[in-house]
Amino acid sequence: MSTLSVNTITAETGNTVSLASGKTLDASQGLTTPAGHVIQVVEGTTTTQTQHNSTSYAATSITASITPSSTSSKILVSVTSNLETNNVGEFGWYSIHRGSTSIAESSVGQPSGGGSPIFPIAIQKLDSPSTTNAVTYTLYIKRTLATVVANINSGGINSLGVITLMEIAQ
pLDDT (tens digit, 9 = 90+) per residue, 54-107? 889 999 999 999 999 999 999 999 999 988 877 777 788 999 999 999 999 999
Instruction: Say what the pLDDT of residue 128 is.
Output: 98
Are residues 25 and 57 located together in one domain of the fold?
Answer: no
Percent of the chain with pLDDT over 90: 46
Q: Distance (Å, rounded) from C-alpha 59 to C-alpha 52?
A: 9
Give the predicted TM-score (pTM) of the model. 0.79
Are residues 9 and 83 located together in one domain of the fold?
Answer: no
Mean pLDDT confidence for 9-25: 58
**Count: domains in the chain:** 2
Are residues 25 and 38 located together in one domain of the fold?
Answer: no
Are residues 7 and 58 located together in one domain of the fold?
Answer: no
Are residues 54 and 136 located together in one domain of the fold?
Answer: yes
Are residues 53 and 97 located together in one domain of the fold?
Answer: yes
Instruction: Say what the pLDDT of residue 117 is.
Output: 77
Instruction: Say what the pLDDT of residue 59 is.
Output: 94
Range of the domain at 21: 1-31
Are residues 91 and 23 located together in one domain of the fold?
Answer: no
Are residues 20 and 101 located together in one domain of the fold?
Answer: no
Are residues 54 and 125 located together in one domain of the fold?
Answer: yes
At residue 126 the predicted structure's pLDDT band, cuts being 50, 70 and 90, is very high
Are residues 3 and 75 located together in one domain of the fold?
Answer: no
Q: Which of 163, 157, 153, 119 is nearest to 47 (CA)?
A: 153
Are residues 19 and 85 located together in one domain of the fold?
Answer: no
Mean pLDDT confidence for 16-20: 59
Phi-psi sector, 47: left (phi>0), alpha (psi -120 to 50), beta: alpha
Q: Are 50 and 24 spatial neighbours (Cβ–Cβ below 8 Å)?
A: no
Residue 77 bridge partners (DSSP): 125, 165
At residue 134 the predicted structure's pLDDT band, cuts being 50, 70 and 90, is very high
